Amino acid sequence: MANVQRYIEGSRNTLLINVLSAVTVQTGDLMFIDKINNLRVNGSSTANNYGYPAEYLRTSGSSLEINKETFKTYFLGVALDYKDGIEGGVDLNIPVATSGKFNFDLKPARSIFTGDMFGVSGTSIDDEGNRNAGDSETVLADITAAGTNGYHETIKKWLGTITFTLTETVGDPTAYTINFNYGYSKYEDFGNQSFSISGLQVTGEAGAADTGFNMILYHHSTSGWAYLASNFVPGGTISHFRP
């Protein structure tokens, strides 16, 4: 439950607002309602009428002044409870006070993103086959925290073309470039069941002479990847090699 001792006086007029599972809310956050398109994701979001903390407000070409004026228009109230953001979790209702006087500590620095955010957008699909044509996901909240030869992947699954986006978030970043190799893989969904491979059958179309044809089966993992400007070899353990 919310710590009501932080409420001092005045009418709280508390209401419940639905917050997406992946969104983190801290007690005392200033919340806005996402009721029109393009309030988030650098002006490329679709309105969903969910509640978001102020740090999620990021309109197209936004500056501090633009965000400040926009936030006043869609300001909802003060969060009286908290929730951790969990991808693929359950949406929760958070109590929000629309008026009143409160006493909150300053938000910790870990809630402030400085630098540049790297993410993808496009049409996502879940395991039940539900599509979201205007979806997006943050891959790196701050690109300066990415290590050399690091491996990152999205939690969501995507259909068709996706767009990589590098977005300035807060402050004056010292870096605004990121070099990366990318891959887009298709897989057969076995419903998270264990299985054994007894053989592989490969069908190809001969289009040119190739004296070095081979086939490699990898056990996918997040290790063993290395960035190369020209090309790259996938990471993971080689399970089978046939010349």
The Cα 80–Cα 77 span in angstroms is: 9
Taking the alpha carbons at both ends of the chain, their separation in whole angstroms is: 63
pLDDT tens track, the chain, 243 positions = 344 456 566 666 788 899 998 888 888 888 898 988 888 877 778 889 899 998 888 776 655 666 677 878 888 888 888 888 887 778 889 888 888 777 766 555 444 444 567 788 889 888 888 898 888 888 887 777 777 888 888 888 888 888 888 776 555 556 677 888 888 777 777 777 888 878 777 777 777 777 777 777 777 777 888 888 877 777 777 665 555
Look at the pTM and tell me if it is higher than 0.75. Answer: no
72's enclosing H/E stretch is: helix 64-74
Buried b (16+ CB within 10 A) or exposed e, 97-123: beebeeeeeebeeeeeeebbbbbbbbe
pLDDT at 10: 64
Distance CA(94)–CA(106), nearest Å, equals: 20
Q: What is the pLDDT of residue 172?
A: 56
Largest CA distance in the chain: 81
Q: What is the pLDDT of residue 241?
A: 58
